[in-house]
Amino acid sequence: MQIKESSKMYDAVIVGSGAGGGMATKILSEAGLNIAVVEAGPHFDPANPEQQTQMKWPWESPRRGANTQRTFGDFDALYGGWDIPGEPYTRKDGTKFDWFRARMLGGRTNHWGRISLRFSERDFKHKDVDGLGENWPIGYEDVKPYYDKVDKLIGLFGSKENLPNEPDGFFLPPPKPRLHELFYIKGARKSNIPVIPSRMSMLTKRINPERGICFYCGQCNRSCSVYADFSAGSCLIFPAQKNGGQIDLYNNAMVREVLTNAEGKATGVSYINKTDRKEYTLRAKVVVLAASACSSARILLNSKSPQHPNGLGNSGDTVGKYLHDSTGSSRAAFVPDLVNRKQYNEDGVGGMHVYTPWWLDNKKLDFPRGYHIEVWGGMGMPNYGFGFNANEYNKFFGLKVGGYGNSLRSDVKKYYGSVVGFGGRGESVAQRDNYCEIDPSVVDQYGIPVLRFHYKWTDFERKQAKHMHETFEELIHNMGGEALSEAPGADREYGLEAPGRIIHEVGTTRMGTDPKTSVVNEFQQLHDAKNVFVVDAGPFVSQADKNPTWTILALSWRTCDYIVEQLKMQNI
Amino acid sequence: MDRRESIKSLFVGAAAGSLALASCKPELSTVEREALSTGATNYGRTPEEDAQIAALHAQQFFSEHDLESLGVLCALILPANEDFPSATEVGVVDFIEFMAKDYEPFQTPLRGGLMWLDHQANKLFGAEFKKLEEGQQHEILEAIAYPDLHVPDSERPLEVRFFSLMRNLTLTGYFTTETGIKDLGYKGNIPNVWDGVPQEVLDQHGVAYEPEWLDKCIDQSTRGTQAEWDEDGNLLT
């Protein structure tokens, strides 16, 4: 097979089109650069009627939305998941890591929860507080101007709260809480657990003429056809194209490696065209990796050359190390005061209108780092699974469970909207021994060596999960509810989800000043190759008790400003 | 996160049993008929996904006899009332046929459960389940429709598990049809402007909005106004 070379020389090739790659596409193209964007999946536009799942009804799916085909069910926007046919990965030493991958333009931003939180100064320098992990080489003041710009460009709702660890931004006003959220607020107040309006990137108010305003269908995971929520395609890549950006989009193109020259500098990338299964190369002055933390690490580790025998950027043997995901554990409760509800439309935005940021002092606890609490419930649209165990909560009233006949109709209506759920999402401490590496024995269907994962939770995370359940039980008690399951014990790691399940994996190309212990510098530039940058969550030194997306966006913008400046100065 | 939680309960196993009515020809709305009849969907499938759905529609899993028995059973689980039709009348049997092909672990418990049902009917009343009188069908169902909650699902008798599975599929199938959603009263999936819980609902459940909280929330009369802030992030518009 002959590798097909493109004669075109790009200023930058961007690998991946999610939050980091989408932002890079916008910033670099608007600076006048000539860009190639290489995406492993197909084109996707939520406004395309052929791809739209928003505002569809359950009966339009013969499986009523069940998740037998798509990972999160038929109506979720995402193509991809933890298991992709023909694209395996392996694990060793009893590791349970599950690797989530999107394969579509816009990546995971098409279906994510839109929880958009800023890291605080403490989050960037947490080693100073508890001596664990590592500090970032940058702090809040370095990133704040970019958070501000992201807020104004993309838009999010929230409220100014003046909390030291939850920096405020440029918010649109939040929507009012739903009924079950009022119960949550009341329950949390009893235990002095703070609750504030959510901070999420849906437009409750107009932000620019190109994007629509939320019409409260509660279906952000289906990706918004009027672009009222943030997805990288709708909010970054399409506007960049409309602004006249010189952008060549390569879809269904799976990058294999970064190509380098005799000086060790990158010259472009090679990729497999999934349609004809041939290998191609693209040439560029700058390579920007935004393929997701583990995919970018994989590309670097597979980019071996005489100048980079251990893989590109891996002279310090740090690529793939310090992999960490958010901790997560969940619980749900039946709330008797929420039975027999009057019907009205409470779809709201997709996800919660209120949440609890981390509120305790770890010095008084037996684990480091905190977690926030996400809340769910309400009278959502029926989907596959609705009506299962229809009258199970009869047990709380001493009534018979099961049966048949028309009483089931009234049971379903009686209990509709009476369940409230809680999800704890917390910070784990990055460990060098949690990593991904190349498995030399296994290949994917494109001929590319695959990743192998090694990951163990520590007692830090287990104790944190135990604390989550103690909090959930207190909240359930305060709400007059009945927990739907027993508290998971030590045998189940206190309900701690396997790493990878929360889909916040970060840290595999960590940022730092020392090339021996980090992969990129504070501008997410490889120590080992000055014209290669990583703008996904790989450079995260620690991930806070926050969702990573808003920080990915801010850091990608900051890096792109640096790239433009360095190109002008002819430093790269 | 809703997305994660909403998929959690999907595949709950369960067991057997039931009663019957005469099987009815399903009365479907046009939309339901379209969605059920072929692989040609209109809800954002990729070409590969559409092909997979079409391939499933092209297969037949249950026999004619099974389908008739399912029709009888589904209508016993959720019969018609004064205002709404039975589960069978809105196409739940077609839905179960599709799910059995779509999710292979359902196949043996469902097909075997139906065989068990006929065995039991023959043993007790000397005829197949679908041909029994309704009272006889109820008698069989009574013995399998009430699981012992102290026993984990996986250890319950097979016929109880079969019936629980059938009840789950029947109810989920019914309440995800146009008719079922109307019966339930769900009011969403329509563009609207959310402006809080109606006052009478707040009163009914004994909760209230905190004035300080409401002060932070969107004044919906300004939703169409372009957002502008001062340099401290205070919204000006």
What is the structure's pLDDT at B40?
Answer: 58
Which tokens is A175 given? 């929507």
The answer to whether the CB atoms of B218 and A344 lie below 8 A apart is no
Query: The tokens 């269907």 sit on which residue?
Result: A445
Does any CB of chain B come closer than 8 Å to the CB of residue A492? no
* A262–chain B nearest CA distance, Å: 43
Give A70's contacts in chain B (Cβ within 8 Å): 49
The answer to whether the CB atoms of B229 and A170 lie below 8 A apart is yes
Strand A371-377, strand A354-356: pairing:
antiparallel
What is the structure's pLDDT at B31?
Answer: 47
Task: For residue A64, give the nearest of A73, A55, A72 by alpha carbon.
Answer: A73
Does any CB of chain B come closer than 8 Å to the CB of residue A495? no
* Cβ contact A524:A148 at 8 Å: no
The answer to whether the CB atoms of B44 and A171 lie below 8 A apart is no
| Residue in chain B nearest A196 by alpha carbon | B213
Does any CB of chain B come closer than 8 Å to the CB of residue A334? no
Q: How far apart are CA A390 and CA B199, in angstroms?
A: 29
For the segment B73-93, the average pLDDT, to the nearest whole number, is 98
Residue B8 — very low, low, confident or very high, per pLDDT cuts 50/70/90? Answer: very low
H/E stretch holding B192: none
Give B224's contacts in chain A (Cβ within 8 Å): 205-206, 213
Among the residues of chain B, which ranges form H helices? 2-6, 30-37, 47-58, 64-77, 92-102, 107-125, 134-142, 158-175, 178-184, 199-205, 211-216
* A563–chain B nearest CA distance, Å: 27
DSSP A468: H
Candidate from B95, B187, B214 with C-beta closest to A64: B95
Number of CB pairs, chain A paired with chain B, less than 8 A apart = 311
What DSSP string describes A529-552?
-TTEEE-SSTT-S--TTS-SHHHH
* Cβ contact B12:A388 at 8 Å: yes
> Would you give per-residue pLDDT tens digits along chain A (572 residues)?
567 887 899 999 999 999 999 999 999 999 999 999 999 999 999 999 999 999 999 999 999 999 999 999 999 999 999 999 999 999 999 999 999 999 999 999 999 999 999 999 999 999 999 999 999 999 999 999 999 999 999 999 999 999 999 999 999 999 999 999 999 999 999 999 999 999 999 999 999 999 999 999 999 999 999 999 999 999 999 999 999 999 999 999 999 999 999 999 999 999 999 999 999 999 999 999 999 999 999 999 999 999 999 999 999 999 999 999 999 999 999 999 999 999 999 999 999 999 999 999 999 999 999 999 999 999 999 999 999 999 999 999 999 999 999 999 999 999 999 999 999 999 999 999 999 999 999 999 999 999 999 999 999 999 999 999 999 999 999 999 999 999 999 999 999 999 999 999 999 999 999 999 999 999 999 999 999 999 999 999 999 999 999 999 999 999 999 999 999 999 99
Residue B38 — very low, low, confident or very high, per pLDDT cuts 50/70/90? Answer: very low
Give B3's contacts in chain A (Cβ within 8 Å): 72, 76, 111, 113, 221, 350-351
Residue B88 — very low, low, confident or very high, per pLDDT cuts 50/70/90? Answer: very high
The answer to whether the CB atoms of B197 and A179 lie below 8 A apart is yes
Contacts 24+ apart (CB under 8 A), B134-138: B134/B19, B134/B20, B134/B21, B134/B76, B136/B19, B137/B18, B137/B19, B137/B20, B137/B72, B137/B76, B138/B19, B138/B76
Look at phi and psi of residue A507 and say left if phi exceeds 0, alpha if psi is from -120 to 50, else beta. Answer: left
| Residue in chain B nearest A342 by alpha carbon | B201
Does any CB of chain B come closer than 8 Å to the CB of residue A125? no
Which of B4, B30, B101, B225 to mutate to test binding with chain A, by most A CBs within 10 Å of its CB? B4
Residues in Cβ contact with A483 at an 8 Å cutoff, skipping those fewer than 6 apart: A331, A332, A333, A472, A473, A476
Domain ranges of chain B: 1-58, 60-190, 193-237
Candidate from A206, A215, A379 with C-beta closest to B226: A206
Give B167's contacts in chain A (Cβ within 8 Å): 390, 402, 404, 408
The answer to whether the CB atoms of A113 and B79 lie below 8 A apart is no
* CB neighbour class for A569 (10 Å; exposed up to 12, middle 13-18, buried from 19): exposed
Task: For residue A135, give the nearest of A143, A147, A123 by alpha carbon.
Answer: A123
* Cβ contact A119:A555 at 8 Å: no
Tens-digit pLDDT profile for residues B48-71 = 999 999 999 999 999 999 999 999
The answer to whether the CB atoms of A384 and B216 lie below 8 A apart is no
- Please list the residues that pair with B228 across neighbouring strands: none
B64-77 vs B92-102: helix crossing angle, rounded to 10: 120
**In the predicted structure, residue B6 carries a pLDDT above the cut 70:** no
Does any CB of chain B come closer than 8 Å to the CB of residue A215? yes
B47-85: string of b/e by CB count within 10 Å (b at 16+)? eebeebbeebbeeebbeeebbbbbbbbbbbbbbeeeebb
Tens-digit pLDDT profile for residues B9-30 = 333 222 222 223 333 333 444 5
In the β-sheet with A90-91, what is the strand arrangement from edge to edge? A90-91, A449-454, A435-443
Count of C-beta atoms within a 10 Å radius of residue A329:
27
Which tokens is A62 given? 């013969």
Positive or negative: CA dihedral A460, A462, A468, A473: negative
What is the structure's pLDDT at A551?
Answer: 98
Strand A90-91, strand A449-454: pairing:
parallel
ipTM of the complex model: 0.95
Residue B3 — very low, low, confident or very high, per pLDDT cuts 50/70/90? Answer: very low
H/E stretch holding A257: strand A253-260
What is the structure's pLDDT at B2?
Answer: 41
